[in-house]
């Protein structure tokens, strides 16, 4: 029996050795990614020493711009469908959170610690970004981690939030039915360290497919985007830190104290954060409205932007 186990282990090592050269994926300098992933209207601004990739579109006289906040390992591109639909009448601001997209990790000489990606830290960063843009009051919309950041901003500075849109938002403790394999690896110390040097594109493809209600909608171009932005220098290390700092359900008691009008959108096929969490948001936030899209997954704004944004338009009073 022991001999069989050693042989199996030897075969595994051989297969790993063969696969490693194919999966080698070193960090990429941000300058090499800008041309493809930051065309107009993308811009970069400095927020307390941190360069931030953002898009600021639509009329500048909007008294309450929409601020769109993406989730873990995503980027502002996840909101492109919504931004296109909303910008003719509303100012729409989307940005890459620190640790993700082209913004990349917190810099050592900035105001924020490069080893802190906790929810309140990212919420305070979002408020600093709004200050830099001279936005005093906004409609905040966030997906997954972005949803958590949105309600944390609303709890920390309620006067700054006109309305709230939570899309498959994090906040309560939960047991995932299926977690993207990339997230699982990032939570394992040894394998997450290796992932900073080796990253099969197929792993990213499987991770994106797992958050769609219909995996057949995941195109090679979409996988390219997630893959290349994951390789942005420092992002994989930041993800490791973020996953190690996860405390599902921490501060969830603040949610019931939110008083602003709130729309909750959820994918009925979300296998990461179950729809029951959407129902809980609906119960805890007085006067909120919950809309479930039965066939969509964890990123409904990306999987079906046209249908999901119509509900948002109705909520904010846009025709």
- Residue 118 has φ and ψ, to the nearest 5°, of -70, 165
C-beta contacts of 15-24 below 8 A and 24+ residues apart: 19/200, 20/198, 22/200, 23/198, 23/199, 23/200, 24/197, 24/198
Find the range with the poorest average confidence among 13-27, 29-43, 239-253.
13-27
Q: Span 278-298, mean pLDDT?
A: 98
Which pLDDT belongs to residue 180? 61
Which pLDDT belongs to residue 108? 86
**Residue 197: pLDDT above 90?**
no
Q: How far apart, in Å, are the Cα atoms of 212 and each of 171, 206, 265, 277, 307?
A: 20, 10, 15, 18, 15
The candidate with the shortest Cα–Cα distance to 193, out of 151, 241, 159, 157, is 241
Chain segment 34-58, per-residue pLDDT in tens: 999 999 999 999 999 999 999 999 9
**Residue 190: pLDDT above 80?**
no
Q: Rounded to an integer, what distance in angstroms lies between the CA atom of residue 260 and that of residue 53?
A: 28
Chain segment 146-179, per-residue pLDDT in tens: 999 999 999 999 999 999 999 999 999 988 876 6
Chain segment 203-218, per-residue pLDDT in tens: 899 999 999 999 999 9
Q: Quick one: the chain helix, strand, coil %, rounded to 5?
A: 45, 15, 40
H or E element, residue 161? strand 161-167
Q: Is the separation of the CB atoms in 70 and 97 below 8 Å?
A: yes
Q: Span 3-12, mean pLDDT?
A: 37
Three-class DSSP category at 141: strand
In the chain, the percentage of residues whose pLDDT exceeds 70 is: 86
Which pLDDT belongs to residue 227? 96
**Residue 278: pLDDT above 90?**
yes
Q: Is the separation of the CB atoms in 273 and 168 below 8 Å?
A: yes
Q: Is the separation of the CB atoms in 198 and 25 below 8 Å?
A: yes
pLDDT, greater one: 92 or 244: 92
Chain segment 177-188, per-residue pLDDT in tens: 766 655 555 555
Q: Rounded to an integer, what distance in angstroms lies between the CA atom of residue 83 and that of residue 91?
A: 9
DSSP code string of 62-118: -SS-EEEE--TT--GGGGHHHHHHHTTTS-EEEEPPTTSTTT-SPPTTSSS-TT---
- The C-alpha angle with vertex 71 and arms to 175 and 156, in degrees rounded to 5, equals 90
The candidate with the shortest Cα–Cα distance to 265, out of 255, 248, 251, 277, is 277
Quickly state the pLDDT bin for 116 (edges 50, 70, 90): very high
Within 8 A by CB and 6+ apart from 130, the residues are 67, 136, 138, 160
**Residue 107: pLDDT above 90?**
yes
Q: Span 238-266, mean pLDDT?
A: 93
Which pLDDT belongs to residue 184? 53
CB atoms within 10 A of CB 246: 16
Q: Span 281-297, mean pLDDT?
A: 98
In the chain, the percentage of residues whose pLDDT exceeds 90 is: 77
Within 8 A by CB and 6+ apart from 152, the residues are 119, 120, 122, 123, 251, 254
CATH number of 32-316: 3.40.50.1820
Place of tokens 């990606």: 117
Predicted structure pTM score:
0.89
Which pLDDT belongs to residue 319? 61
Give me the chain's average pLDDT, please. 89
Which pLDDT belongs to residue 15? 33
């Amino acid at each position: 029996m022991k001999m069989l186990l050693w042989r199996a282990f030897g075969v595994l090592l051989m297969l790993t050795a063969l696969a490693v050269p194919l999966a080698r994926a070193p960090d990429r300098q941000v300058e090499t990614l800008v041309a493809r992933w930051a065309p107009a209207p993308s811009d970069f601004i400095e927020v307390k020493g941190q360069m931030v990739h953002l898009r600021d579109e639509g009329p500048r006289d909007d008294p309450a711009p929409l601020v769109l906040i993406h989730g873990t390992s995503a980027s502002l591109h996840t909101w492109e469908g919504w931004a296109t639909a909303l910008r003719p009448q509303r100012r729409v601001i989307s940005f890459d959170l620190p640790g993700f997209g082209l913004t990349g990790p917190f810099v050592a000489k900035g105001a924020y610690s490069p080893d802190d990606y906790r929810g309140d830290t990212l919420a305070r960063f979002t408020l600093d970004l709004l200050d830099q843009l001279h936005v005093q009051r906004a409609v905040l919309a966030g997906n997954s981690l972005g949803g958590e950041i949105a309600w944390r901003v609303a709890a920390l500075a309620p006067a700054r939030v006109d309305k709230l849109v939570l899309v498959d938002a994090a906040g309560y403790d939960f047991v995932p039915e299926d977690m993207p394999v990339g997230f699982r690896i990032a939570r394992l110390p040894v394998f997450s360290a290796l992932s900073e040097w080796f990253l099969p594109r197929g792993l990213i493809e499987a991770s994106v497919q797992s958050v769609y209600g219909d995996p057949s909608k995941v195109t090679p171009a979409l996988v390219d985007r997630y893959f290349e932005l994951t390789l942005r220098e420092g992002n994989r290390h930041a993800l490791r830190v973020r996953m190690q700092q996860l405390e599902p359900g921490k501060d969830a008691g603040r949610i019931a104290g939110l008083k602003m009008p709130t729309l909750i959108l959820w994918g009925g096929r979300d296998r990461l954060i179950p729809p029951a969490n959407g129902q809980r948001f609906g119960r805890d936030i007085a006067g909120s409205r919950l809309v479930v899209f039965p066939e969509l997954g964890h990123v409904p704004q990306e999987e079906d932007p046209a249908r999901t944004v119509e509900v948002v338009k109705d909520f904010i009073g846009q025709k």
